[in-house]
Amino acid sequence: MSRRLARWVLALPLALVVAGLSGCGSGRPAGTSASSAAGGAKEVTVFAAASLTGTFTELGKAFEAAHPGTTVRFNFGSSATLAQQITQGAPADVFAAASPATMKTVTDAGLASSPTTFVRNKLQIAVPADNPGKVDELKDLADPRVKVARCAEQVPCGAAAIKALAAAGLKVTPVTLEQDVKATLTKVELGEVDAALVYKTDVIASAGKVKGIDFPEADQAINDYPIAALTKAPAGELARQFVDLVLSQQGKDVLVKSGFEAP
């Protein structure tokens, strides 16, 4: 075999691997930045708390309109889970968390710096529209006959619920612990529980599917939401621009309209 042929044979497996990657999914290797996509297409990937689904989707559309040819892709979920995914190497450009504690996981790993608190969020008791459990205040959740859903303790909405219940001196045993606030609210919407402790913004976003009940202890368990462009963001400039949009007056108007509070 000639030396030239030998080199070609050795190079063939690598070429096949590269070709295989190029043919998967979106047409480019996973994790490639927006700027390297074919045709000059651009993407910015935003990891955001589940409670930001509606507002960030709206802001994403506004961002795309202001940046023709750019796509904003979202990964919504539990802030704790998202933080873990980021520290494990998931490709992301922006992280918006529902608590400083979950953001700290990312900053401690050196993957974000100088996060900015952009909104705050307060809990409400969510009940089905017909309120079958006759829940009127927080202490009603301690009644063993009332089926309660709560976010898991490691999730920001769960940590806030525990703090609020402690402030009221109440012990509540939930029938289910969910991994994010949207899943918790769904239990109420489906009538599987009588009540849940969720954010006021999620009650508003339900568009009448559930009823929200304020309670004074919620003031002692308000969650600050920080946002940061990630230090290893594949689309660094777009990441900074998206954060700027969230912090702008336009961003504040969208968020406050949906029930968030200014920091």
Q: DSSP string of 52-86?
A: GHHHHHHHHHHHHHHSTTEEEEEEEE-HHHHHHHH
In angstroms, the CA 199 to CA 181 distance is 8
Is the pLDDT at 13 greater than 60, yes or no?
Answer: no
Domains of the chain: 42-120+224-257 (3.40.190.10), 123-220 (3.40.190.10)
150/185 Cα distance (integer angstroms): 9
Determine the Cα–Cα distance for residues 183 and 66; give it in Å rounded to an integer. 32
pLDDT digits (tens, 9 = 90+) for 97-146: 999 999 999 999 999 999 999 999 999 999 999 999 999 999 999 999 99
- What integer is the mean pLDDT of 149-157? 96
Instruction: Annotate 32-58 with b (16+ C-beta within 10 A) or e (fewer).
Output: ebbeeeeeeebbbbbbbbbbbbbbbee
Q: How confident is the model at residue 250 (pLDDT cuts 50, 70, 90)?
A: very high
Query: How much of the chain exceeds pLDDT 70, in percent?
Result: 84
Q: How much is the average pLDDT of 234-263?
A: 96
pLDDT, position 41: 52
Give pLDDT, residue 169.
97
pTM of the full structure: 0.81
Which range among 35-39, 48-52, 257-261 shows the weakest confidence by mean pLDDT? 35-39
Q: Is 210 in contact with 127 (CB distance < 8 Å)?
A: yes
